[in-house]
Amino acid sequence: MHQVERAIFDIRRGLPILLRDEEQDILVQPIESVDDGTLERLVATAGEAPGLVLSRHRLALLGQPIEAETARLSLDKPSSLDARHLGELAFGVDVPGTTHPVVSASRADHAALTLMRRALLIPAALTARVASGSRALVESLVERGELLAVEAAKAERCFEAASGLLKRVSEARIPLAEAAQSRFILFREPDGLREHVAIVIGEPADWREAVPLRLHSACLTGDLFGSLRCDCGEQLRNAVADIEAMGGGVLLYLAQEGRGIGLANKLRAYSLQDEGLDTLDADQILGFGEDERRYGVAVDMLAALEVRRVQLLTNNPIKITALIEGGIEVTDRQALYGRLTEQNYRYLNAKAKRAGHMLEAVLENYERPSRD
């Protein structure tokens, strides 16, 4: 899979890549790095006009609902090849709908968006078929190492490649303010791209049968800086204290910043929320679904720690289902709250009302300050 990981680095740097497929090879340019220069180079190299591959979430906003995960907008008129226009189509907040014809995405188009997600970029890309007259040029770029070629089928499986063979890399005793006897164990995904940490509180030999467990998704702003926009930092510290009080257990600190969309996109989403959108609608503007997290890695970490039965600290029903589907027995669920404040009320309310988080108990008792 080395080529796939290299491709992820290239697209994060804003470079185009070549996806090879039986149907047809395509050149892929991430939307985030499209400017008039990259556009011109893409067309000149491919010898064909590109199309814009978007997620179904974004297409729904453009008034083009589709069943598949991705589809392609044909950019048939040369005037549509304008970097600003393409950016507006892909992640602009004003979405007037589109007159560009929607065509189904090829396997390589779909693989291109899977790579964008794995690279934590906006899930949108320009893709151009390589015209027969341009093949020699493209192959010479690949040969000279100026363009990276990857098999679409492998790119498509880049998320799967992250699960399964987690590497247990290192560990150390780290006494915490709320739990003196704690051990941090670092796991690295097999493709080397992300690392997750298991914090083992207490001694496994002393744990009750069902291990108290918290799955915590990283939130740099909340966990580290105490952002008031969310409740993550308090939940994190409360979870450590609760697990300690329960006699020990495990906290998995998962590299799933921003519900899996990454910090760059979470900051974009916060700016959109400042314009009045709620947390889920803001993510949809950027082309993401309600929750982009996958929990296979958490299941793999539990397997490595030989934890099979858990008492889960969460308000999120998806986490419960994901563990059960991963073969973990969830004997009990315990609520875990942070403090509700004027700044995080809208966020938590949206999670409860629109994503089914079990937060009624806190929301019901909260009186919003009046603004007179």
Ligand X SMILES: Nc1nc2c(ncn2[C@@H]2O[C@H](COP(=O)(O)OP(=O)(O)OP(=O)(O)O)[C@@H](O)[C@H]2O)c(=O)[nH]1
256 binds, among ligand X, Zn ion, none (CB under 5 to 8 A by kind): ligand X
Stretch that binds ligand X, among 55-63, 93-101, 143-151, 257-265 (CB under 6 A): 257-265
Stretch that binds ligand X, among 31-39, 86-94, 160-168, 211-219 (CB under 6 A): 211-219
Q: Is 258 annotated as a binding residue?
A: yes
Three-state SS string over 276-332 comes to: CCCHHHHHHHCCCCCCCCCCHHHHHHHHHCCCCEEEEECCCHHHHHHHHHCCCEEEE
Residue 253 C-beta: closest distance to Zn ion, Å:
13
Nearer to Zn ion, 226 or 356 (CB): 226
Site string for Zn ion, 162-201 (x = CB under 5 A): ----------------------------------------
Which residues between 211 and 240 bind Zn ion (CB under 5 A)? 219, 222, 230, 232
Q: Does 217 bind ligand X (CB under 6 A)?
A: yes
Amino acid at position 238, single letter: N
Q: Is 180 annotated as a binding residue?
A: no
Catalytic residue status for 291? yes
For the beta carbon of residue 140, count every other beta carbon within 10 angstroms.
11
Catalytic residue status for 13? no
Q: Does 269 bind ligand X (CB under 6 A)?
A: yes
Stretch that binds ligand X, among 26-34, 87-95, 215-223, 362-370 (CB under 6 A): 215-223
Contacts of 126 by beta carbon, 8 Å cutoff, 6+ apart: 28, 29, 31, 34, 39, 42, 50, 51, 52, 53, 86
Stretch that binds ligand X, among 27-35, 152-160, 174-182, 213-221 (CB under 6 A): 213-221
How far apart are alpha carbons 346 and 319 in whole angstroms? 22
* Rama region for 346: left / alpha / beta (φ>0; ψ in -120 to 50; rest): alpha
Q: Is 309 annotated as a binding residue?
A: no
70, 84 in Cβ contact below 8 A?
A: no
> Which residues make beta-bridge pairs with 53?
72, 125
How far apart are alpha carbons 62 and 54 in whole angstroms? 10
266 binds, among Zn ion, ligand X, none (CB under 5 to 8 A by kind): ligand X
Nearer to ligand X, 181 or 334 (CB): 334
Q: Does 283 bind ligand X (CB under 6 A)?
A: yes
How far apart are alpha carbons 339 and 358 in whole angstroms? 15
Task: Give residues in contact with ligand X (CB under 6 A).
Answer: 216-219, 230, 232, 235, 256-259, 261, 266, 269, 279, 283, 314-316, 319, 347, 357
Residues annotated as part of the active site: 291, 293
Binding site per annotation, positions: 214-219, 230, 232, 235, 257-259, 279, 314, 319
